[in-house]
C-alpha cells in the first residue's frame, strides 16, 4: 500500500509539472504536503518536517550557488564569457560549413562511429598514454618497490 501511494504521488508530481505547468518548487511542496497527509503525519509536525527537509537541501546548495554567482560575475565583467562563447560557437560552426551536420542515418555512419568511438578510441588513448609514460621514463624509480630489482627481500630483525 505504501509503495502504491508513493508511485501515485510521483505520477501526480510528473503530471503537475509536465501537463499542468505548475512550477516545480510549488509542485514539490504540494506533493510533500499531500504525502505527509496520506501517510498520517500529525499536522503540527508537517511544518517542522518540511522546514527541516528544505533547509537541509538548500543549506548544502547555498555555497555552490554563491560561488557560482561570484565566478559568473567575475567572468562576465572580465569579458571572458564573451570570448569563450565566441570560441565555442566558432568551433561548432566550422563543422557545419565544411561538411554539413553529421547524421547517423546510414548504417555505414553508425558502424564508423562504433568502430572509432567505442572500440578504437579507448585503445588508441591507452596506447598513447603508455607510450608517453615510457618515453618520459616515468616510474623507473619505482621498480624496486614493485619487484623489478635484483635485491632479495630483506626482513627486519624486530
Confidence (pLDDT) at 18: 87
Measured between alpha carbons, how far is 89 from 83 in angstroms, rounded to an integer? 10
Confidence (pLDDT) at 139: 57
Phi, psi dihedral angles at 39 (to 5 degrees)? -90, 5
Query: Quick one: 54 and 108 in the same domain?
Result: no
Measured between alpha carbons, how far is 138 from 5 in angstroms, rounded to an integer? 59
Residue 19 lies in a domain: yes
Query: Quick one: 102 and 47 in the same domain?
Result: no
Confidence (pLDDT) at 37: 92
Query: Quick one: 1 and 54 in the same domain?
Result: yes
Residue 29 lies in a domain: yes
Confidence (pLDDT) at 84: 75
> Could you list the residue range(s) of the whole structural domain that residue 126 is in?
98-137
Residue 22 lies in a domain: yes
Residue 46 lies in a domain: yes
Confidence (pLDDT) at 56: 79
Residue 40 lies in a domain: yes
Residue 89 lies in a domain: no
Q: Are 27 and 13 in contact (CB under 8 A)?
A: yes
Query: Quick one: 5 and 59 in the same domain?
Result: yes
Residue 59 lies in a domain: yes
Query: Quick one: 58 and 5 in the same domain?
Result: yes
Could you tell me the sign of the dihedral formed by the alpha carbons of 72, 74, 76, 81, in that order? negative
Query: Quick one: 52 and 106 in the same domain?
Result: no
Q: Are 31 and 49 in contact (CB under 8 A)?
A: no
Whole-structure pTM value: 0.40
Confidence (pLDDT) at 35: 93
Residue 26 lies in a domain: yes
Counting the structural domains of the chain, the total is 2
Query: Quick one: 54 and 102 in the same domain?
Result: no
Query: Quick one: 45 and 1 in the same domain?
Result: yes
Q: Are 47 and 33 in contact (CB under 8 A)?
A: no
Stretches in the chain below the pLDDT threshold 70: 90-121, 123-125, 127-129, 132-134, 136-158
Which one of 47, 63, 79 terminates a domain? 63
Query: Quick one: 11 and 54 in the same domain?
Result: yes
Amino acid at each position: 500500500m505504501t509503495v502504491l501511494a508513493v508511485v501515485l504521488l510521483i505520477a501526480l508530481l510528473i503530471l503537475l509539472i509536465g501537463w499542468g505547468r505548475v512550477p516545480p518548487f510549488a509542485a514539490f511542496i504540494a506533493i510533500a504536503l499531500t504525502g505527509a497527509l496520506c501517510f498520517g503525519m500529525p499536522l503540527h509536525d508537517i511544518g517542522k518536517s518540511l522546514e527541516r527537509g528544505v533547509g537541509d537541501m538548500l543549506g548544502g546548495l547555498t555555497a555552490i550557488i554563491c560561488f557560482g554567482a561570484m565566478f559568473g560575475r567575475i567572468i562576465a565583467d572580465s569579458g571572458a564569457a564573451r570570448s569563450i562563447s565566441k570560441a565555442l560557437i566558432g568551433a561548432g560552426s566550422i563543422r557545419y560549413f565544411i561538411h554539413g551536420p553529421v547524421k547517423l542515418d546510414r548504417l555505414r555512419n553508425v558502424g564508423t562511429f562504433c568502430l572509432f568511438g567505442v572500440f578504437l578510441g579507448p585503445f588508441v588513448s591507452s596506447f598513447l598514454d603508455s607510450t608517453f609514460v615510457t618515453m618520459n621514463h616515468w616510474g623507473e624509480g619505482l621498480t624496486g618497490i614493485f619487484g623489478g630489482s635484483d635485491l632479495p627481500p630483506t626482513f627486519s630483525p624486530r
